[in-house]
Amino acid sequence: MATKTINNVSNSTSLLRNSLKNERLSHAYLFVGGNMENLESQATELARTLNCQSPKASSKSGIPLDACHECISCNKVDTHNFPDLDVIRPESKSRVITIDQIRRLIQKVSLKPTEGRYKVAIISSAERMPSVTVNAFLKTLEEPPDRTVFMLLTQFPEKIIDTVLSRCLRLNFTGETGVELNDDDKNWLHSFISMSVETNEVLMGRYRLLSNLLNHLSLKKDFIEETYQEASPLNQHDDIDPTLRKKWEKELDATIESEYRGQRSQFLAGLQWWLRDVWMMAMQQSIDLLYFKEWAEASKAIAKRINSDQALENLQSLENTQRLLERTNVQETLALEVGLLKLKL
């Protein structure tokens, strides 16, 4: 089933209000936009409205259409002390939404509301749910308990799997999606850019870039494995039933692989944004349009060597590499080697 999409803040807000007015509230929404703070604000406003005690307007059956922002429920929602509101965010060193977080949420929404009309769950950065977490959540997302509303928030809808998308009404809020790089990834990208300026089209230099890239990804995967293995119940219990051990080992391997693929995709997206900057410079656009303005001089230096068509081919090449890497049977080193050697730098 295709996901229905509503674009921009005005239309999205109107749709929500009309849904309440016509008593056709969806049980699951996907809020998409470029600013997570704004998405959380929109989701919180809906949670506040659904449970407002003194609404400015209501539907025929008494469902609030606008929150008063003054009653006890509104104030509790504002301070995240409302017992029927849960906000789930990525946790742990690897910044993922864990299966334990989702299991606790499922258990809580199975109970009747404590104070409000609705139980509301806001899942921030929903793309950060590994496959094992998603699988644990799907049944409840499709058939939630009565008076339960889920709001999944993301800046990267392309990373949300189809089985989740099909269960949600998607609302697009304005704002360009960027990329979040941790300090290690950003430092590596800066180093890559500096080396690219020096390397030009020398083949040995290109393989040096590839070697550094593969080494960085290898260290990233090692860190993910170490983090998840330390947190695994396999290391917390001495006597484990063989069948359960096998199940946990399978879940652990799947989680590590899912997290690594997600972090790799995010990291390569940073490289794509820089290649976009080079393309903008090749078209002689304003520096104000660059994503990485702090590296404008390096982007200019690369852009002087190539034309705008070549710069666009760079973007397309890396996009193709990303798509290849999403296939489980592709050899990572080969895909990255082919993609990197195609770049015109």
Domain locations along the chain? 5-172, 183-342
Angle at 160 between CA 157 and CA 162, to 5 degrees: 115
Beta-bridge partners for 169: 29
**What pLDDT sits at residue 276?**
86
**What pLDDT sits at residue 327?**
64
* CB hemisphere CA count around 67 (13 angstroms): 22
**What pLDDT sits at residue 294?**
92
CA distances to 166, 168, 169, 285 from 2, in Å: 6, 10, 10, 37
Can you say whether the dihedral through the CA atoms of 194, 290, 265, 134 is positive or negative?
positive
- C-alpha–C-alpha distance, residues 87 and 83, integer Å: 11
Longest dimension (CA), the chain: 73
**What pLDDT sits at residue 22?**
67
Q: Are 86 and 121 in contact, with CB atoms under 8 Å apart?
A: yes
**What pLDDT sits at residue 120?**
95
**Global confidence as pTM:** 0.53
**What pLDDT sits at residue 18?**
67
Superfamily of domain 5-172: P-loop containing nucleotide triphosphate hydrolases (3.40.50.300)
Instruction: Count, in order, helices (H) and strands (E) of the chain.
Output: 12, 8
Which residues does the chain have with pLDDT short of 50? 1-10, 176
